Amino acid sequence: MRQVKTLGLLGTGVIGGGWAARALHFGIDVVAADVKPEMETWIRGAVANAEGALSRLTFAPLPPKGRLSFTTDLTAMARQVDFIQENIPEQLELKQRTLALVSRHAPRDVLIASSTSGLMPTDLQRDMESPERFLVAHPFNPVYLLPLVELVGGERTAPETLEAASRFFSYIGMHPLKVRREVPGHLTDRLQEALWREILHLVNDGVASTGELDDSIIYGPGLRWAAMGTNLIYHLAGGETGMRHMLRQFGPCLKWPWTRLEAPELTEQLIDRMVEGTQQQAAGRSIRELERLRDDYLVAIQQVLRQFNLGAGATLRALEERLFESAAAGARPALEAAASGVAPQATLRLIETEVRAEWVDYNGHMTDSRYLQVCGDATDALLRYAGVDDAYRRSGRAFYTVESHVMHQAEARALEPLYVLSRVLDVDDKRLRVFNALHRRRDDAQVATAEQLYLHVSSAAGKAAPMDAGVRARLAALQAAQAQLPPPPEAGRLGGRVVR
Ligand SMILES: NC(=O)c1ccc[n+]([C@@H]2O[C@H](COP(=O)([O-])OP(=O)(O)OC[C@H]3O[C@@H](n4cnc5c(N)ncnc54)[C@H](O)[C@@H]3O)[C@@H](O)[C@H]2O)c1
């Protein structure tokens, strides 16, 4: 498969809009195609709406955003993109016809995926040209925040197609879950439907309202599900002997049975109960308001899970690791030139960022804590170059900040593009003194400086410890090259703390 620089979307409704927002955010261009011209305004609005929550998901350095274009000419889209994701209505014949059409116009090495919630890939690829490059890639709403994508191959799908698609989806921050063989509804929708069917029965039988049933999940099992699935949770429910005991104790209930296999008839009365129940739960809040609330807590949950390296948090952590690595790789030539003294000053520009809307205080200017965050990102990039990566940190060694001196010199407004110039002022066995200068891109004015002292720590020993010799040598080479520059007038103001 070719490298995916441009994603083509077939159908730009709820799911197409979600794919667009995710891909653009991670630097992929998008050509969106829909039969209805009015969907252009819709998808642009959907992308703008998603951006608020998406921009808070990670502070890792992102590539420049992708560009969005729109067309009603499906075949023109198919000829100019590297990967096609189909998101048109869930009707087998319509999907078969449309997929066959675009497959005749897309070059053979362009993968084609369907977002179908439950149709079988073998049926969908039936009339396609080069059906071996087709797969189901089933996402979850909102696609721009939920990492799960189920990958399912049909009878004629090549194994390499699933591998290549999996790499692309990981690249845009997703968790590809390969489904071993095609079944209607894939995996997740079968589980979701089982729960939903019971909800419909309980509402139909007048046992509970929609709100009570939602409460039965959100105050209990829902909290567990974000990081451990039903099986692992039931393993815990069995006490010391785990799943075996759990099955012995609760297995007989399966025969009673508590649940039903067929959904109830969707009568007018049942539809009214479901609609009225959810309207009461919405309590006057619009769909947009509820979406914003959902997006905000989805971001917050993933950030918490990142600390535990669990589930969606592990996906986020892996994504950030890659983003930091590629930023470090981008900065490496400049760092090497600086270390060898070829271009010591102007090139040590490791971080390009902008003042995000949520970083500003009531004055409309960047708030204090964000200066330290941006300078911390610059130091991280410097340390990555020196060899301090995730593996180094996992070995129980890290640099801790012990002192910072920040000087504020000019204003940085919301959305203002910024860059950081970094210098190594001092390095010895255990200590590193860094000077970061934050500049506005529009006029190069120096906005702030931060002089910071870092201590190299072994967490196993619980105290300062010598850094790796290679790391020290690289930092020392930088320091020597930059020592030819005049010392920054703002530096030298740390308290002179003694570290042993
Ligand atoms: N909504 C969800 O929660 C969800 C979740 C996962 C997967 N899916 C799947 O994603 C697909 C799309 O669902 P949706 O909710 O975005 O639907 P939607 O109705 O919001 O959007 C469908 C879009 O397809 C366009 N369209 C119709 N025929 C077309 C054609 N021939 N060519 C190009 N565009 C065409 C429509 O104009 C519309 O904009 C379905 O297969 C659905 O099962 C939906």
pTM, two decimal places: 0.85
Ligand 1 centroid distance, CA of 115 (Å) = 8
432 near 399, Cβ under 8 Å?
yes
pLDDT of residue 352 exceeding 90, the answer is no
Ligand 1 nearest-atom number relative to CA 97: 31
Ligand 1 nearest-atom number relative to CA 16: 16
- Most ligand 1 atoms within 8 A of CB, residue of 34, 44, 74 to mutate: 34
Which amino acid is residue 455, in one-letter code?
A: L
Residues with CB under 6 A from ligand 1: 10-16, 34-36, 39, 74, 87-90, 98, 115-117, 138-141
Ligand 1 centroid distance, CA of 173 (Å) = 22
Average pLDDT, whole number, for the chain? 92
401 near 392, Cβ under 8 Å?
no
Ligand 1 nearest-atom number relative to CA 139: 6
Q: For residue range 241-259, what is the model confidence (pLDDT) as tens digits?
A: 898 888 888 888 888 777 7
385 near 474, Cβ under 8 Å?
yes
Q: Which of 171-185, 253-267, 354-368 has the highest mean pLDDT?
A: 171-185
3-state class (DSSP) for residue 112: strand
Tell me the average pLDDT across 16-36: 98
pLDDT of residue 261 exceeding 60, the answer is yes
Q: For residue range 476-494, what is the model confidence (pLDDT) as tens digits?
A: 988 888 888 888 999 988 8
Is the omega angle on the peptide bond into residue 257 within 30 degrees of 0, that is, cis? Answer: yes
Residue nearest to atom 30 of ligand 1 (CA): 35
Query: What are the phi and psi torsion angles at 149 (to 5°)?
Result: -140, 120
Residue nearest to atom 8 of ligand 1 (CA): 117
**Maximum pairwise Cα distance, the chain:** 82
The DSSP line for 153-180 is: --TT--HHHHHHHHHHHHHTT-EEEE-S
- The DSSP symbol for 413 reads B
Ligand 1 centroid distance, CA of 17 (Å) = 10
pLDDT-based confidence at residue 308 (cuts at 50, 70, 90): very high
Specify the pLDDT at position 499: 43
Ligand 1 centroid distance, CA of 119 (Å) = 13
Specify the pLDDT at position 500: 38
Task: Return the exposure string of 309-337: e unless at least 16 CB atoms fall within 10 Å of the residue's CB, then b.
Answer: eebbbbbbbbbbeebbeebbeebeebbbe
- Most ligand 1 atoms within 8 A of CB, residue of 44, 88, 92, 138 to mutate: 88
Q: For residue range 317-342, what is the model confidence (pLDDT) as tens digits?
A: 999 989 888 877 877 777 777 777 66
List the structure tokens of 190: 């079968």
pLDDT of residue 374 exceeding 70, the answer is yes
Ligand 1 centroid distance, CA of 11 (Å) = 6
Q: What angle do CA 192, 198, 201 make, to 5 degrees?
A: 140
Specify the pLDDT at position 498: 46
pLDDT of residue 497 exceeding 80, the answer is no
Tell me the average pLDDT across 276-303: 95
Ligand 1 nearest-atom number relative to CA 14: 16
Tell me the average pLDDT across 406-421: 92
> Which helix (H) or strand (E) is 239 found in, with range?
none
Positive or negative, the CA dihedral 56, 58, 61, 62 is negative
Specify the higher pLDDT residue, 184 or 238: 184
- Most ligand 1 atoms within 8 A of CB, residue of 39, 116, 117 to mutate: 117
Positive or negative, the CA dihedral 369, 319, 64, 387 is positive
